[in-house]
């Protein structure tokens, strides 16, 4: 497969949850407030060869990648608890979607949730979900 195939596949999963890709590539620092809650930032953080399986294959290797999904929610004195809870509910929804191999088996070998956290920023909260993706690279 390729970076584009994996990214488009994950974008499709997030799109099915009514989320759109943000105009920001790295984080929500410069994002407009109207992007909070309905957009995501998706990026591939790293990759490494699966040496155990890849060294025995003649025409392919497995690339173990870490992908990151971020979704932000606005903070104000009136909505902190509500928006924090909404991010936790969104995390549950994302993890349920990822737990179904029918959602991702068409574009990657394995897609698993690694970890998540909610990051407290001055004007917004960020749900950050890391994924383990095993992509098959043929040559």
pLDDT value for 135 = 85
Residue pLDDT, tens place only, 35-54: 998 999 999 999 877 666 65
Residue pLDDT, tens place only, 48-90: 776 666 565 556 778 889 999 999 999 888 888 888 999 999 9
C-beta separation of 131 from 115 below 8 A? no
C-beta separation of 107 from 5 below 8 A? yes
List CB contacts of 119: < 8 A, sequence separation 6 or more: 125, 126, 128
C-beta separation of 114 from 43 below 8 A? no
Tell me how many degrees the CA angle 7-84-90 measures, rounded to the nearest 5. 35
Q: Please state the rounded mean pLDDT for residues 123-133.
A: 94
- 89/67 Cα distance (integer angstroms): 20
Q: Please state the rounded mean pLDDT for residues 17-22.
A: 95
Find where tokens 């290797």 sit.
61
pLDDT value for 79 = 82
Helices (H), the chain: 3-15, 51-54, 80-98, 101-104
Residue 85, phi then psi, degrees to nearest 5 = -65, -40
List the structure tokens of 112.
């698993």
Q: Please state the rounded mean pLDDT for residues 94-117.
A: 93
Pick the CATH number of 3-138 from 3.30.2000.10, 3.30.70.20, 3.50.4.10, 3.40.50.720: 3.30.2000.10
Are β-strands 39-49 and 20-21 bridged in parallel, bridged antiparallel, or unpaired? parallel
Q: Where are the domains of the chain?
A: 3-138
């Amino acid at each position: 497969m390729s970076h584009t195939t994996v990214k488009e596949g994950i974008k499709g999963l997030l799109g099915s949850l009514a989320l759109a890709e943000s105009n920001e590539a790295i984080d929500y620092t410069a994002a407009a407030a109207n992007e909070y809650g309905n957009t995501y930032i998706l990026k591939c953080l790293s990759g490494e060869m699966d040496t155990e399986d890849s060294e025995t294959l003649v025409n392919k290797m497995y690339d173990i990648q870490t992908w990151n999904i971020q979704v932000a929610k606005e903070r104000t004195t009136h909505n902190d608890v509500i928006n924090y809870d909404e991010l936790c509910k969104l995390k549950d929804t994302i993890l349920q979607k990822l737990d179904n191999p029918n959602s991702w088996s068409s574009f990657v070998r394995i897609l698993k949730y690694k970890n998540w956290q909610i990051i407290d920023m001055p004007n917004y909260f960020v749900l950050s979900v890391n994924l383990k993706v095993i992509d098959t690279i043929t040559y």
